[in-house]
Structure 1
């Protein structure tokens, strides 16, 4: 076997001519086949390797077109978000009106439950307070739920007699 120098071939496909590849002077010399007698250190100057004509004007045109396209897309999504927000607000107002109507209808049919049975109403407030204090541990509110249930049972027994 004979020691023969190896030749390496590197092919870089640059599909976007606006992007340059930066290489040091020593890499350029090696690519051109110059001798490596004196390796250089970090003082190597950077060279840009590009294929094709001057691209600076094309790059600016491309950036401007991209910025305009991004602004159009941003405007589209801002309009969509505003539309969704308006729809949500409208639905929320409808739900509030529907709830108020239902409450008025209930009070017209059955009267004000809180005024009729204030003891049980206070139990409901205790339950709500407990749920707020323990949002992920609802079993801690078992005592309040039992008191409310007992209150309702007592009201039922009183109404039957």
Structure 2
């Protein structure tokens, strides 16, 4: 009973052109091990006769009746469906990648604009911070005072007239700057 080997042979008659084999949904699921038949209890002979238990045996299944009631799919149809799903998935991801690239491009452009604005502001601040000698007020009088001190290092009082003239020029320049601000 359990020691004998049983082999089954399946013969498929292909009536479709283009060498397609027609498979039902049940066969496809069974091949993928998706369909599992419920196992019904088989009566155990070792049980005492006094226990009455009604056990149902599985009815024999006629494969032709199942196949006749199910829509048939050819391997070519299944392949076309899979390719359609792949194309749909590819299209989705291509669109998704394009959106991400566009968002990156916008972010990059915004950051570039902000960077350029920061560079311009820094350049302006640096240029304002530079105080070249040409921009000093009363520079000719300043040079005259410096020269006087260099000419008379031991007699600084001789430069007092030049210092007073320089101080007056500076005071006038400061007064003009305050008036222009207010």
Q: TM-score range by the shorter chain?
A: 0.3 to 0.5
TM-score of the pair, normalised by structure 2: 0.35
Larger helix proportion, structure 1 or 2?
1
The structure whose RCO (Cα within 8 Å, separation 6+) is larger is 2
TM-score of the pair, normalised by structure 1: 0.39
